[in-house]
Chain A
Amino acid sequence: MAVLQQRWDPLSRTTRFHTFACRPRRIFAAVTPTTRTTTTSRPDRNLVVVEPRLPSSSSTPSSVARRKTEIDPSELESTWAHRAWVTAGCTTLFVSLGKALLGSFQSHIWVEPSLAALLGYFLADLGSGVYHWGIDNYGGAETPFFGGQIAAFQGHHRFPWTITRRQFANNLHALARAVAFSVLPLDLWNADPVVHAFACAFAGCIMFSQQFHAWAHDNKTRLPRAVVALQDAGVLVSRAQHAAHHRAPYSNNYCIVSGAWNRFLDENKVLEAMEMVIFFRFGTRPRSWSEPGSSWAEEIQTSRADTEHLQAS
């Protein structure tokens, strides 16, 4: 089945169309069933046998491998509603940016707005991590308001590569909607350039975090040079850092703007502490603690191009 694919690349300023003339070949692979508990010293391996992280009994690795899961290509396409929400989000951001620039120009204050914008960018990475952690670990498709995002991220863990095939507005519309509603009141009732500089940078990075996320999944050779350079410089989340998020134990590297907070959050076990507090307070276990059943098994769909992509990366 031919799938017409639109890839919108903001930095290259081009819109590329990819036509897959042949039906994509699929490779199914359960994520390596490893133990979640590793310790540095294991003097006697005969004594210590760790049960592997196998999928549930009803879903053995072979059955996972056999299972054919179709992804409806239309799920990856942008609709007019998606585009409308992205347009709305971008409009509120441009208004905020304009107010920040205009206010700075009129008041001749540039340092504070610049610092505010930097702070916004820096904190957006933290915000993206906390949000990503929350929807990865708690709730479900039926959760009010966040259900769609939770289901989408669950699907993303099974089919990580699809994010690179998702059209631009399809990928960003949910966050764009949140940004539109959050920034609009500021646009209407606030004129402080410092506030706008912060809001514009923070909300902009949050909204485009899904694009940064998609780039973190893509092959280096298929990304614009500018994006690769920004990833390598740590301005955008790197492919290597985000790849670690998709490996067991699936409980680290949640931040998807610059990834600057990942090391701090992981080394200090901040999110693990929050999971523990939630567990003892509400009795809710995060998904990352549980055995990865079939829903955590990554299934790799690949066309010939994708195979090359995987080999290259």
Chain B
Amino acid sequence: MACISLPKPPITSLPTQNHRNPSPYALPISSKSSESQFYGIKLSTTAAFSTAPSSCPHIARRGLIVAKVSKGSSPPSFTLKDQDGKSVSLSKFKGKPVVVYFYPADETPGCTKQACAFRDSYEKFKKAGAEVIGISGDDTASHKAFVKKYRLPFTLLSDEGNKVRKDWGVPSDLFGTLPGRQTYVLDKKGVVQLIYNNQFQPEKHIDETLKLLQSL
């Protein structure tokens, strides 16, 4: 289903859960996943996930939330800070394939495995001419430490407040308790060619994205 009915209050009031939540990783994520599964795999092959045109990124009407990014669409652009505090825009990567992976948080077991798997296959991504970008709600200092500790050769962006995550419609997992782990592959024109969601098999993101990149 592309549309998910939310109980009131609607999206704008959801972040109020933060006051009960001491975690810096509190989830203001509004889209409940009907496709993301606990142990599952979601390969988006149709545009059924979204009915919204990419030119209309903010849709939250009458409590309905529409996932914005689907295969064949152009995702909303963003400008976020990288691990060094420099602003990075998605548009900067136009002209080459880009792998954008959203992950829950730095220094958690699955995310560390995923980041290290991207790192270990980084040469293959470079050979395919692709850039790898990781996005989570952690701050730049956390990203910097994460990059340094695991020698990550790619960019991590800070999406504090999870705005980009929401804009892209990344579904959450386990009944909204976990930020989703979703990877997008954009082609040279910036059009989404693959959406892959799998929370608990993080290494599979690398296999799937490489498979797609090699076929581009």
Cβ contacts under 8 Å, A40 to chain B: 203
Q: B22–A42 contact, CB under 8 A? A: no
Interface contact tally, CB-CB below 8 A: 94
Q: Is A43 an interface residue (CB 8 A)?
A: yes
Interface size class, chain A: 20 to 34
Q: Which residues of A are interface residues toward B (Cβ below 8 A)?
A: 36-44, 47-51, 249, 251, 268-269, 272-273, 275-277, 279-283, 289
Q: Is there contact, CB below 8 Å, between B38 and A273?
A: yes
- Which residue among B109, B113, B174 has the maximum number of chain A CB atoms within 10 Å of its CB? B109
Q: Given A268-B39, A273-B174, A277-B174, do A37 and B112 touch, yes or no (CB 8 Å)?
A: yes
Query: B200 and A273: CB pair below 8 A?
Result: yes
Contact yes or no, B113 A39, CB < 8 A: yes
CB distance from A207 to the nearest CB of B (A): 32
Q: Which of B119, B124, B200, B203 contacts A272 (CB 8 A)?
A: B200
A281 engages B203 (CB within 8 Å): no
Residue numbers in A under 8 Å from B179 (CB-CB) = 280
* Complex alpha-carbon distance, A36 and B111, angstroms: 12
Complex interface residues of chain B between 113 and 138 (CB less than 8 A to chain A): 113, 116-117, 119-124
Can you name 24 A-B residue pairings with CB atoms under 8 Å?
Answer: A36-B109, A37-B113, A40-B203, A43-B120, A43-B124, A47-B119, A47-B122, A48-B119, A51-B150, A249-B109, A251-B109, A276-B104, A276-B174, A276-B177, A279-B23, A279-B105, A280-B25, A280-B27, A281-B21, A281-B23, A282-B22, A283-B22, A283-B24, A283-B25
| Chain B binding surface SS class | loop
A47/B153 in contact, CB under 8 A = yes
Chain A: minimal CB distance from B108 (Å): 6
Q: A251-B109, A282-B23 are in contact. Are A277 and B123 (CB under 8 A)?
A: no
CA distance A178 to B113 in the complex (A): 39
C-alpha gap A276/B23 in the complex (Å): 12
Q: With the chains together, A88 CA to B39 CA distance in Å?
A: 44
Is the Cβ of B116 less than 8 Å from the Cβ of A283? no
Q: How far is the CA of A72 from the CA of B162 in the complex (A)?
A: 52
Knowing A281-B21, A281-B177, the reply to whether A276 touches B108 (Cβ < 8 A) is: yes
**In the complex, which residue of chain B has the Cβ closest to the Cβ of A42?**
B120
Cα separation A279 to B151 with both chains bound (whole Å): 25
Q: How many residues of B contact A (CB 8 A)?
A: 36
Is B92 interfacial (CB 8 A cutoff)? no
Interface positions, chain B 12-26, Cβ under 8 Å from A, are 21-26
Find the A residue at minimum CB distance from B119: A48
In the complex, the answer to whether B200 meets A289 with C-beta atoms within 8 Å is: no
A283-B23 in contact (CB<8A): yes
Which B residues are in CB contact (< 8 Å) with A277?
174, 177-178
Most central of A40, A50, A279, A281 by chain B CB within 10 Å: A281
Q: Check B22–A289 contact: CB distance below 8 A.
A: no
Q: Are A280 and B117 in contact (CB under 8 A)?
A: no
Residue of A38, A276, A289 contacting most chain B CB atoms (<10 Å): A276
Which residues of B lie under 8 Å from residue A275 when comparing CB positions?
Answer: 109
CA distance A235 to B25 in the complex (A): 42
**Chain A nearest CB, measured from B25 CB (Å):** 5
Bound Cα distance from A270 to B107, whole angstroms: 19
Q: 7 closest A-B pairs (Cβ-Cβ)?
A: A283-B23, A37-B116, A39-B117, A269-B200, A277-B177, A37-B112, A283-B22
Chain B residue numbers with a CB within 8 Å of A38 are 113
User: Which chain B residues lie closer than 8 Å to A48 at the CB level?
Assistant: 116, 119-120, 122, 151
Given contacts A37-B150, A38-B113, 20 further A-B contacts (CB under 8 A): A36-B112, A37-B113, A39-B113, A41-B117, A41-B120, A47-B119, A48-B120, A50-B116, A50-B150, A51-B149, A251-B109, A268-B39, A268-B200, A269-B39, A273-B174, A280-B26, A280-B177, A280-B179, A283-B21, A283-B23
